[in-house]
Amino acid sequence: MSGPRKEALLLLEDGSIFFGWGFGADADAIGEVVFNTGMVGYLESMTDPSYAGQILSFTYPLIGNYGVPPYSDRDEYGLPRFFESDSIKVKGVVVQESCATPSHWASKRTLAKWMESEGVPGIEGVDTRALVTKLREAGVMMGILANGREAKDRERLSELLARSGSYSSQNFVKGVSVSKPVVHGDSDKKIVLLDCGTKYGIVRNLLKRGFQVVRLPYDASYSSVMKYDPAGVVVCNGPGDPQMLEATARCVGSLVDSEVPVLGICLGEQVVGMSQGAKTFKLKYGHRGQNKPCLDLTTGRGYVTSQNHGYALEEKSLKGTELRKWFVNADDNTIEGVFHANKPCMAVQFHPEATPGPYDTLFVFDRFIEATRGVRLGGEEIRSVKA
């Protein structure tokens, strides 16, 4: 890096300290410290609203090597081509090395300059292997990242961290949802998207399938959804504890009862589950990366999926509901997808839109579109597959 190096540190709530060099903004940031195992996709990950309230550590040692393109580069739908929202959503970034000399035809600035322009601090020179080992053994925890002048007063940082609320106690969805309806496309066929912090990849996949997408606030009522006469409703990804979204779950429950086709994605799967009486729980360190294996119980096929979540549906709580397991995680057997036995309702915990990651499960959108035409997944028999 050019110029003098800035001291930086990451302090975890258990007292662990990781020293390094600062990049990005001279500031401090408090958030839940999590890790992502992807080798690429830092642009999409850092702008994914699901990371709101979190400090993101990348396990791949070199981040920023293909730089940062401009937000002004838009696709045919007017959406930023290389980003999943219009700004960085992570609170801070932890890397082993931040590349200062990127090489890519679309690059206009470095990772550090991008983060500096948006007030996001970063720390490099950290042994991210040791950090990930800590989080895997102890579980994700709150932390404070500080660089530059902010890293000097360790006592002040400790006090700030001690006074911060837990991740699960805060409603991060409210900060990343739209505040009023936002319309994409001009088709006569409408999909309402309950915006808990949607990725543009989800919007893009619905537009590609010939629908107009109406994004509504996460706490929209059943009546406000139905006034658009939607062909279906998507409950999208988002940050935080799903228990904060009781109003959203009530709305989804009414939609399912009235047989409006529903697709839940990531946080949306948890909301769908809650709407039918299922419960959620927090994973020890979550699933965040582009190489997470899932098994489709309706076919026995395995898929590599893109994931970013820290909560999941509790399997035993499905008993007594009409939800059936659709996908399970091949690593820990947690639920990765459900469908309703008698209603046009389905949900997946992974990200079928990818961005970043493999596009193996784009068919989930096609199944949802089939549901808007009266074809139901729930009529299929589940094979006896040992997961």
* CATH code of the domain in which 87 resides: 3.50.30.20
Helix (H) or strand (E) holding 75: none
* 241 lies in some domain: yes
Of the residues 134, 164, 194, the one at which a domain ends: 164
CA distances from 97 to 36, 61, 107, 285 (A): 15, 6, 18, 23
Q: Is the peptide bond before 344 cis (omega within 30 degrees of 0)?
A: no
Helices (H), ranges, 26-127: 42-46, 111-117
Cβ neighbours of 37 (radius 10 Å):
15
Question: Both 220 and 330 in a single domain?
Answer: yes
Question: Both 295 and 371 in a single domain?
Answer: yes
Residue 369 DSSP one-character state: H
353 part of the active site: yes
* 386 lies in some domain: no
Q: Are strands 302-313 and 280-296 parallel, antiparallel or unpaired?
A: antiparallel
Domain that holds residue 69: 6-164
Active-site option among 99, 251, 266, 294: 266
Active-site option among 287, 309, 340, 351: 351
Of the residues 115, 136, 164, the one at which a domain ends: 164
Structure confidence at residue 384 (pLDDT): 38
Mean pLDDT of 173-197: 98
Question: Both 25 and 152 in a single domain?
Answer: yes
Question: Both 282 and 315 in a single domain?
Answer: yes
pLDDT digits (tens, 9 = 90+) for 51-105: 999 999 999 999 999 999 999 999 999 999 999 999 999 999 999 999 999 999 9
Question: Both 28 and 58 in a single domain?
Answer: yes
> Can you list the positions of beta strands (E) in 266-319?
280-296, 302-313
Residue percentage of the chain with pLDDT more than 70: 96
Q: Which residue has the tokens 């006034």?
A: 227
* 384 lies in some domain: no
Are the C-beta atoms of residues 56 and 93 closer than 8 Å to each other? yes
Are the C-beta atoms of residues 29 and 120 closer than 8 Å to each other? yes
* 113 lies in some domain: yes
Structure tokens at 249: 């779950």
Over 80: is that where the pLDDT of 2 sits?
A: no
Question: Both 366 and 234 in a single domain?
Answer: yes
pLDDT digits (tens, 9 = 90+) for 248-275: 999 999 999 999 999 999 999 999 999 9
Are the C-beta atoms of residues 197 and 177 closer than 8 Å to each other? yes
351 part of the active site: yes
Structure confidence at residue 61 (pLDDT): 96
Of the residues 131, 164, 197, the one at which a domain ends: 164
pLDDT digits (tens, 9 = 90+) for 310-324: 999 999 999 999 999
What amino acid is encoded at 150 in this protein?
Answer: E
Our count of domains for the chain comes to 2
